Structure 1
């Protein structure tokens, strides 16, 4: 409508200016009236052929040029308003399509837990802001409100609870890639399943937890290399089912290493004075003994370092010599999972031995830079 009005005003202004090309002192020399020009259409409320008085009335002496300029100015203003409205509407459409605000995330964790470290690595690399609640590992007062008594737990907007590190990562990755789904809608894709393990203990597992729930087109965009999706899932599961079980036997390998590990845990964790003392000395002895049982359960060698070295070198070999990361130029979810697990050994003898006796050093340093850079952004 605004565009039609603009065209009409422009035509009126143009014809009014044409009128002034004749002598204003001799009305008989005026050209035919605007109403007789075939290219002009008259608008009004009358029936067919109705002409507005504006078109049929004689022009004002000495006022035609002024009137024409006025109509041209009016037409220009109408054109300006039309363009302005168009841009405003386009901007409004873009605003409507813009992603919603980032969810408010709160991570309940133990800092030295490898599963919690995996989640932090993903959040930092993805640039997602989050708050940390350090849980007391003895009384776990901070998660008393939850029926799920393990960490990590991620709360989204204080309303949606995500459990299990791999479920948390897959859910958030799906959310970041596919803006059409909400986190509660995505979470339905990872149903909770209860079962009994080989020791007769009831455990909770989550179906599909290594699968990022994307449409076919979204999946093709994210996983452009053939087989890269299956490769990522395979090594994410490997990190959970194998690599993580090598940590405790290595960091508690000897009484001195066990004591050093618990000194680090007490310093970084949330303990009271008595709890810290108890955890450091009694816990160190207990975990030294437990590590021997874990070594038998997972069929590890007497020198558990060799299993750690073999596992880490297998990971580096899977990446190959032509890729910086398993994800190519950028880390994928498998890179972040393995990095998160290995990171909990930093500052301990087992970590120093691993860096010295395996080929993981260069990949690990690249991961440090990648995760730190993204996290700062």
Structure 2
């Protein structure tokens, strides 16, 4: 619309300037000279009758060329603003593609939850903007609208609900690679499977949670070397099935560490004044004993730090000396999963001990930079 108007103005301006009236010599210089001679006050009609008469005569004589110039100038400015607007619109569209196709993402989380941290690591690395709703872990009023009572929950455009950290990551990664399908269409590839466990409790599992739903050509582009896809899936599952279970026994290893951990949880979480007080002291005591049970359930050593060190060194050994990340020069989904899980220990004794007594430090620092700089943005 704007471009059409600009072209029309240019055409009209050219026709006017080419008309006989516009070709009369001296009309423009006379008009400009007249305005200059009588000052800006008189050009606005404040002079005497003689001045106004001369001015009107000049306008009649020079109106062709002046109007032509005006139309040409107006058309040029219109065209300039049209091009500028189009360029800005194009850049905005490109930015929308970069930021996840314009998806509005809202993450319901506990900040210190390793599964929530995994999702944040993915979103941060890929530069996807998102809002956070911190859920009160006692009342959970923030997710009372949801039949799914766990976190993380990711809402897409305020309508589509994604549950389970691995499903969230797999479906969004698929969407970023192949935007021909909507997130809701992709989500159908990860159906819920409900069952009852040995304790008689209903549990929900998700099929294909570690798979990306891509075409053969897209899969070859993402995983150019043989075995890359299986390796990524293996270590993503390892992060969920093993590494996560080492966190609680290590951060609640002693009463002092349990208290320090809950002090951090209360500071970073969403607690009321009294809830925070009871969570810090009662929760720390409870988790100290629960950590002992978890140690027994997962057959951990008496010194649970040794299991943490062994797991982390196994991860570093799997990456090897020739790769910066398991994904090569760039992190893959396994890198992001392991980084997200380990990150929840930052600021605690378990994290400091891990960094000092394992070989994970250099990989971890590279992951920090990649996440902070949104290096996965495409």
TM-score between the two structures when normalised by the length of structure 2 = 0.73
Partners of 1:296 and 1:194 in 2: how far apart? 27
* Structure 1 residues 244-276: Cα deviation after superposition (integer angstroms, max 9, x where no partner): 000000000000000000000000000000000
Greater Rg over alpha carbons, structure? 1
Partners of 1:198 and 1:206 in 2: how far apart? 18
| Superposed counterparts of 1:199-210, under 5 Å | 199-210=199-210
* Structure 1 residues 55-82: Cα deviation after superposition (integer angstroms, max 9, x where no partner): xxxxxxxxxxxxxxxxxxxxxxxxxxxx
- Secondary structure of the corresponding residue to residue 374 of structure 1: coil
| Superposed counterparts of 1:207-286, under 5 Å | 207-286=207-286
Q: Which residue of 2 aligns with 1:153?
A: 153
Contact 1:128–1:375, Cα closer than 8 Å, also in 2: no
Partners of 1:197 and 1:316 in 2: how far apart? 34
Contact 2:171–2:212, Cα closer than 8 Å, also in 1: yes
Partners of 1:313 and 1:294 in 2: how far apart? 22
Q: Which residue of 2 aligns with 1:330?
A: 330
Partners of 2:324 and 2:376 in 1: how far apart? 21
TM-score between the two structures when normalised by the length of structure 1 = 0.73
- Secondary structure of the corresponding residue to residue 108 of structure 2: strand
Partners of 2:157 and 2:179 in 1: how far apart? 17
Q: How many residues align?
A: 285
Q: Which residue of 2 aligns with 1:122?
A: 122
* Cα gap change, 1:294 to 1:263, in 2 (>3 Å): same
Q: Which residue of 2 aligns with 1:58?
A: none
Partners of 2:265 and 2:149 in 1: how far apart? 20
Q: Which residue of 1 aligns with 2:104?
A: 104
Shift of 1:226: 1.0
Shift of 1:375: 7.2
Contact 2:370–2:376, Cα closer than 8 Å, also in 1: no
- Secondary structure of the corresponding residue to residue 115 of structure 1: helix
Partners of 1:104 and 1:288 in 2: how far apart? 39
Q: Which residue of 2 aligns with 1:349?
A: 349
Partners of 1:145 and 1:375 in 2: how far apart? 35
Partners of 1:298 and 1:376 in 2: how far apart? 35
Gaps of 5+ in 2: 1-85
| Superposed counterparts of 1:1-377, under 5 Å | 101-374=101-374
Shift of 1:160: 0.2
Shift of 1:197: 2.4
Partners of 2:224 and 2:198 in 1: how far apart? 39
* Structure 1 residues 172-221: Cα deviation after superposition (integer angstroms, max 9, x where no partner): 00000011110000000000001222333211000000001000000000
Partners of 1:262 and 1:129 in 2: how far apart? 29
* Structure 1 residues 212-244: Cα deviation after superposition (integer angstroms, max 9, x where no partner): 100000000011111100000000000000000
Gaps of 5+ in 1: 1-87
Partners of 1:144 and 1:187 in 2: how far apart? 23
- Secondary structure of the corresponding residue to residue 162 of structure 2: strand
Q: Flag the structure with higher helix content.
A: 2
